[in-house]
Amino acid sequence: MRDEKGEVMTFAMKTLSFFIFVGSCVPVLAQTLDGSDVAQALKRTIALGQGLEQWQDLPQYPVSLSNAAEPTPVASSGYYSVAWDDETLYILGVFEQPQETLLADLPSETSEWWTGDTLEVFVRSTSGAEKLHFAMNPSGTPFAEFTSSVNYQAVSQLEETRWILEVAIPLNDVLPAVQVGDVWQFKVGRGYVSANEYSLWPNGGDFQGETNFGTLYFTESLENPEELYTRLAPGLE
């Protein structure tokens, strides 16, 4: 079970100690990474709710490792993909789950929203920037408590054996404008309450942790993952 209250209560202390540490030692974006920790966001405008064909040639990144102190693979599969244009960051989440097990009817103002199924996205755009946390249920309802105040859109598709969310988060405001070659901190989580599964890309672990981010790379054309990591690695260590 996720202890979201505990995570929230310790968040300020974690954040303070993290910034004290990184301020004297390493850049905020520094991580210990391998190639699987780098996701590519392809420049493409997505029309929400207009079909997965828009996403079909984008990389699919598995959200598969648990939130345990020593993460292990969860039983239920799922993935995300990322696109962007000059105005918007787009995220697709596709997760296997029998429809009869869905917990997707909590309202936006629910304080303990983690008692239902969720998609969660964590973003830090630049060194020293605020970590933004977005959380929504499989029906596309965004939750306000303990999350970013940025207004965004989410379109849902609930099927018999899986649920799909397309998310559009505005740029050029709280999140800055993006250029090709930009690198952000990024992680994506999924909560499947009835299975007691809480999985997180890239490496699992604490959803609110400061040391388990992956890297989001903005590009106009997809690159070879191994070559991309080799090129980015010196700046990520």
Residue 140: which CATH number? 2.60.40.1190
Q: Which domain does 15 fall in, by range?
A: 4-236
Q: For residues 56 and 218, what is the distance between their CA atoms, to the nearest angstrom?
A: 18
What value does the mean pLDDT take over residues 80-100?
98
For the whole model, what pTM was predicted?
Answer: 0.86
- Identify the burial level of 67 via C-beta atoms within 10 angstroms of its C-beta, where 0-12 means exposed, 13-18 middle and 19 or more buried: buried
Q: Is the pLDDT assigned to residue 26 strictly greater than 60?
A: no
Residue 169 in contact with residue 119, Cβ under 8 Å?
no
Q: Is the bond preceding 71 in cis, omega lying within 30 degrees of 0?
A: no
Q: Are 88 and 96 in contact (CB under 8 A)?
A: no
State yes or no: pLDDT of 156 exceeds 60.
yes
- Tell me, what's the pLDDT at 2? 58
Average pLDDT, whole number, for the chain?
88
Taking only the tens place, the pLDDT of each residue in 33-69 is 458 899 999 999 999 999 999 999 999 999 999 999 9
Write the CB contacts of 23 (distance below 8 Å, at least 6 apart in sequence): none
Q: How confident is the model at residue 237 (pLDDT cuts 50, 70, 90)?
A: low
What is the tally of structural domains in the chain? 1
